[in-house]
Amino acid sequence: MGAGKRNLTMAAVAVVCAMTVLGAPVNAYASQTKPTEPTPSPSSAAGGSGTPETYPTPVTNEELEAVRARLESLYHDAAVATDAYNAAEEKADKQSEEITDLAHEVDQGHAKLDKLQDLIGAAARAQYRGGGLPPEVQLWLTENPQDFLEGADRVRQGQLAAKGLLAEMTRTQEDLEQYSKDAAARWKKLEASRKAKEKAKKKIKKQIAAAQELEGQLEDDERERLAQLEEDAAQQSQATWLGSGILDEINGKASPQGKRAVKFATDQIGKWYEWGAEGPDTYDCSGLTSQAWAAAGLTIPRTSQEQWRLLKHIAIKDMRPGDLIIYNADASHVAMYLGNGSMVHAPRPNRKVSIAGAGTMQILGVVRPDA
């Protein structure tokens, strides 16, 4: 292992605790160095000549555990930002649709005004000539022209027509003014959603880049040991969860829709995680669960936080395959329960869709899309 790279690694783990307290930026890792203790070379120990060699101190499991905790924090923050990005994107899409609908209403309103002006002109010309109302004016004012004409002489017909058409024109103009105000308000909201999405995107990239930089400072054998620490922590968490006897109470059967959702989700195993992705080649955690239920014929919220907020909450002991397990106090991760204490999920960047123990992370609660 190179001494320079080792120094960067040792610096990274040494700064983790300080960063937790002081909130120092991740790039502070690279500016620190940790000296190594000199060790006599075999030749000098034997009384021979030569400059004593130095050997880098191995990174301890405690130091790697600090790295693991820091990576977990970075990827958690990236997950929170991903949820914010997805929510902003969903809002922006909805607001764009609303603006398009308003534009259509405005077009129809202008067409209606043009038609009313033509009808008013036709009615005025007819009255001037002393004739009755044109057929198109009669049809506009009432579905049954005879009801409108009964008991009214021609003068009164003209007065009623003018009054009705002018009232309709006033209402149409008021509608157009309201459409204009609504469109302006929605454009403002759309711009806010776009800014929120861009802000979340920057944060995601920053957190992932920091995590990758930290992982990149480790040697191959350290990465293997780090992976083993992650696996050990997950297994310990799962063992604690199972040790509570929870599986003795969980015996729910999947619904027909739940079975289809489970099949879709498990068919994606091996595909890479990508923030903001909804398939078909990559997924983030809520992209996987929302698309799985869409494949089962049910539309559910796009983000894990909205899934937690809007879907029906189920007691853990009552969960069944297809239900969604929400993780972390801020509902920043979601997985699909498969049964027998396992779940399928899109874990995080640089990981693939996979099956894991349902108790390997902190469970916030369970929701049921097809309740």
- Beta pairing, strands 342-345 & 363-368: unpaired
What tokens appear for 255 in the block? Answer: 């619904």
- Respond yes or no: is residue 313 known to be catalytic: no
- Respond yes or no: is residue 285 known to be catalytic: yes
CA distances from 81 to 76, 119, 283, 307, 326 (A): 9, 57, 15, 16, 16
Place of tokens 């992370």: 361
Could you tell me if 273 and 322 are in contact, meaning their C-beta atoms sit under 8 angstroms apart? Answer: no
Burial per residue of 128-145, b for 16 or more beta-carbon CB atoms within 10 angstroms, e otherwise: eeeebbbeebbebbeeee
3-class secondary structure, 223: helix
What does the DSSP assignment read for 307-366?
HHHHSEEE-GGG--TT-EEEETTTT-EEEEEEETTEEEE--STT-B-EEEETTSS-EEEE
Could you tell me if 85 and 200 are in contact, meaning their C-beta atoms sit under 8 angstroms apart? Answer: yes
Nearest Cα residue to 349 out of 293, 301, 282: 282
- Phi, psi dihedral angles at 333 (to 5 degrees): -145, 150
Which residues are tagged catalytic?
A: 285, 333, 345
